Amino acid sequence: MTDTGDEFLVRPPQDELPDDIYAEDGSVRSDFLVLVGAAIADRDTLFLRQRVARLHESELGDLIEAIQPEQRLALVRLLGDDFDLTALTEVDEAIRLQIVDQMPNEQIAAAIGELDSDDAVYILEDLDHEDREEILAKLPFTERVRLRRALDYPESSAGRRMQTEFVAVPPFWTVGQTIDYMRDEDDLPESFTQIFVIDPTFKLLGTVDLDRILRTKRQMKIETIMRETSHAVPAEMDQEEAAQLFEQYDLLSAAVVDENDRLVGVLTIDDVVDVIQEEAEEDLLRLGGVGDEELSDSVVETSRSRVPWLAVNLVTAFISASVISLFEGTIEQVVALAILMPIVAGMGGNAGSQTMTVTVRALATRNLDIHNAWRVARREAGVGLINGALFGTLVGVVAAIWFRDVSIGGIITTAMLINMFAAAMAGITIPVLLHRSGTDPAVSSAVFVTAITDTTGFFSFLGLATWWFMSS
């Protein structure tokens, strides 16, 4: 029997398959996709359970993203109870909704019960109110109360991202008692790196890292080894702020407390890593003029989400055009100006975007503050003048030779010096002012900086030329 041309596709037994589902470039291997696709078509649940259900949640997520849209739901149905719902926390929002919307609420409820509460919340928060209530109603009481409490906190808050399963002990317990408790208790979180110390009202008293427990003698009291400065995170705190705490103090997990300092959950570094990624991605996309979009969005969704930025840029483009129109008469007489003016504006735009990028990033990482803002502004001014002089002279020489006119060279050199200095100043001032006024500088800095470098570029170049050619 050969592999090709047969009516029945023969799938190799488990142990002949390679361990790694990824190809060199990080995408899911094509041969693996073919096998999975054929298994779905053949409803070969044995293969799917042995080979797909055992994948790590993130691998299963990548697989779901890589197969054809119409295969996704079929795969979930064929896996049945063996489908690990956590995989859905690893896929694009659009794909997640597509799958969850078509799964029966009973199946979701059964699967949700198996998840850590933070993963459960991640999936529940996207559902519409009705579906969510129906699923919650099918859950055991304590589970339901926990999830509802997390869902009550605002979107993007620490309370939403927290896990409500944790280990908490009273301060008067000994290390030995604590270890015995962990050995006997079945209902511990799936994994944890620290335990919390609380009083009878659940007020947080301190934390103890697991390695601390392991190196301490059994008879020692927990209160003698707990740390009090535990960087507890208020549940209402924005997830980005919480992520900064984790970064600054190298935390692995942090207690989440309610307004009365009572322990309600734990925030873990793996969720924080996701937050850090999301925030960095947001800044990058916003600087490029893109909002919240995902690769799986449709043409119409994508077009619509990109319109606002293009519209704002259109307004500034018309402002630049009207600046040019002021000098219509000059351009009619010296067409070289029309040829050269995009160079002045464009180089200013590039210099401005360099300064702006550095500024936006430094603000996001809190590296730029009142203590060094002046020094950085002075530096950028210097850089603008140096590079303006350098490139201005270069362009001036080329322009003078090209159009056999020294005055054109002098005019463009001066205009570029002015514009690249203006670019540097706009590149630092605009993000800082936006930041001070409470706006995210990544969103709108680029539009303003380009508006300034375009208008300054056209105005200085054409203005100088008009003054020179029209008065001489």
Contacts of its own copies in 336-375 (CB under 8 A): 338-343, 345-347, 350-351, 353-354, 356-358, 361-362, 365-372
- Name the token pair of 53: 């259900």
Sheet holding 263-268, edge to edge: 233-234, 253-257, 263-268
Nearer to its own copies, 105 or 353 (CB): 353
Nearer to its own copies, 114 or 293 (CB): 293
Stretch that binds its own copies, among 36-44, 122-130, 138-146, 333-341 (CB under 8 A): 333-341
Nearer to its own copies, 129 or 404 (CB): 404
Matching residue, tokens 């009142």: 370
Query: How, if at all, do strands 263-268 and 253-257 pair?
Result: antiparallel
How crowded is residue 159: how many other Cβ atoms within 10 Å of its Cβ? 28
Rounded Cα gap, residues 171 and 223, in angstroms: 5
Do 424 and 380 meet the contact criterion of CB atoms below 8 Å apart? yes
Do 39 and 67 meet the contact criterion of CB atoms below 8 Å apart? no
Nearer to its own copies, 280 or 406 (CB): 280
Do 267 and 253 meet the contact criterion of CB atoms below 8 Å apart? yes
- The answer to whether 382 contacts its own copies (rule: CB under 8 A) is yes
- The answer to whether 248 contacts its own copies (rule: CB under 8 A) is yes
Nearer to its own copies, 83 or 458 (CB): 458
Residue ranges in 62-121 that form contacts with its own copies under rule CB under 8 A: 65-66
DSSP 50: I
> Total residues at the site for its own copies (CB under 8 A)?
116
Q: Which of 41, 386, 401, 470 binds its own copies (CB under 8 A)?
A: 386
Nearer to its own copies, 164 or 455 (CB): 455
Distance of closest approach, residue 50 Cβ to its own copies, in angstroms: 16
Residue ranges in 32-51 that form contacts with its own copies under rule CB under 8 A: 33
Q: Which of 10, 34, 280, 433 binds its own copies (CB under 8 A)?
A: 280
Residue ranges in 142-181 that form contacts with its own copies under rule CB under 8 A: 179
**Site pattern 398..417 for its own copies (x: CB under 8 A):** x-------------------
The DSSP-derived string for 87-132 is GGGGS-HHHHHHHHHHS-HHHHHHHHTTS-HHHHHHHHTTS-HHHH
Distance of closest approach, residue 123 Cβ to its own copies, in angstroms: 17
- The answer to whether 27 contacts its own copies (rule: CB under 8 A) is yes
- Name the token pair of 33: 């996709």
Matching residue, tokens 């427990």: 213
Nearer to its own copies, 376 or 417 (CB): 376
Return the SS3 of 150: helix
Return the SS3 of 13: coil
Please give the C-alpha separations between residue 89 and each of 119, 271, 294, 322, 425, in angstroms, as whole numbers.
Answer: 7, 11, 15, 50, 43
- The answer to whether 26 contacts its own copies (rule: CB under 8 A) is yes
The DSSP-derived string for 389-441 is HHHHHHHHHHHHHHTT-HHHHHHHHHHHHHHHHHHHHHHHHHHHHHHHTT--H
Nearer to its own copies, 265 or 392 (CB): 392
Distance of closest approach, residue 7 Cβ to its own copies, in angstroms: 26
- Name the token pair of 140: 């055991």
Residue ranges in 176-195 that form contacts with its own copies under rule CB under 8 A: 179, 182-183, 185, 188, 191-193
Residue ranges in 249-278 that form contacts with its own copies under rule CB under 8 A: 249-250, 252, 269-270, 272-273, 276-277
Distance of closest approach, residue 462 Cβ to its own copies, in angstroms: 10
Stretch that binds its own copies, among 133-141, 145-153, 200-208, 305-313 (CB under 8 A): 305-313
Distance of closest approach, residue 23 Cβ to its own copies, in angstroms: 9
Nearer to its own copies, 139 or 341 (CB): 341
Q: Which of 39, 283, 415, 426 binds its own copies (CB under 8 A)?
A: 283
Rounded Cα gap, residues 393 and 389, in angstroms: 6
